[in-house]
Amino acid sequence: MDMAAARTAQSMRGNEPMRRRVILVLLAAVGVAAVVLATTSWSRTADAADHDGRRTAVLAAARQQAVNFTTLDYRHLDRDLGRVLHGSTGDFRKQFRAGTADLTSLVTQNKATSEGEVLDAGIVSDDADSARVLVVADSTVTNSADAKPTKRHYRMQLDLVRHGSRWLVSDLQFVG
């Protein structure tokens, strides 16, 4: 081996520790970038799942309250009115409770029944603690004055608020 080749070989061996350090630093940087990317991706996925879960809970609560509101049976009126009150809060709850005596009298005198069914529901707006939902529902009504069942159609706007893990109706309006 000539002298120039020997120096080149020795120089390359001398740079070997430096190359290893550079490779280790690059591998560490790639590893850190992978962890950051995975964490960011997981966080976005978790946020999307939370949002989807919240929307599912809001729609389920709105649908159930629409059914509760449109389902009454004179033979079980306390139970039926209790379901509406259990799923409501605020001014809506107070107003509904205040009207239960008149409603009880009317439903009982007419031996009325009404069975509600939600046809469709959609969220208009929502955030972590409140939501507005539009619901389309039908109810089949019978009473002592007319033995033939009558179908009634409703379009309702329900405002819901979160109370702990539950979504409660804070306002219900009939919309055209």
For the segment 144-155, what is each residue's pLDDT rounded down to a tens digit?
988 799 999 999
- pLDDT of 138 > 70? The answer is yes
Quick check: is 130 in a domain? yes
Determine the pLDDT at residue 51: 72
Residues above pLDDT 90, as percent of the chain? 68
In a domain, 23, yes or no: no
Mean pLDDT of the chain: 87
Q: Minimal CA–CA distance to 110: which of 140, 143, 75, 146?
A: 143
Instruction: Quickly state the pLDDT bin for 24 (edges 50, 70, 90).
Output: confident
In a domain, residue 15? The reply is: no
Average pLDDT over residues 137-163: 94
5 domain-assigned: no
| Domain at 170, CATH number | 3.10.450.230
Report field, pTM of the whole predicted structure over 0.75:
no
Number of domains forming the structure of the chain: 1
CA distance 13 to 122: 70
What would the mean pLDDT of 23-41 be, rounded to a whole number? 71
* 35 or 139, which is more confident: 139
Euclidean distance between CA atoms 141 and 72, whole angstroms: 9
Amino acid letter, residue 106: L
Lowest mean pLDDT among 11-25, 37-51, 55-69, 146-160: 37-51
Does residue 34 lie within any of the structural domains?
Answer: no
Q: Is residue 110 part of a domain?
A: yes
131, burial (CB in 10 Å: exposed 0-12, middle 13-18, buried 19+): buried
Does residue 35 sit within a domain? no
pLDDT in tens, 80-91: 999 999 999 999
Q: What's the pLDDT at 11?
A: 57
Give me 126's structure tokens: 């929502």
Per-residue pLDDT at 136 exceeds 80: yes
Domain of residue 119: give its range: 54-174
Would residue 76 count as lying in a domain?
yes
Average pLDDT score over residue span 92-99: 95
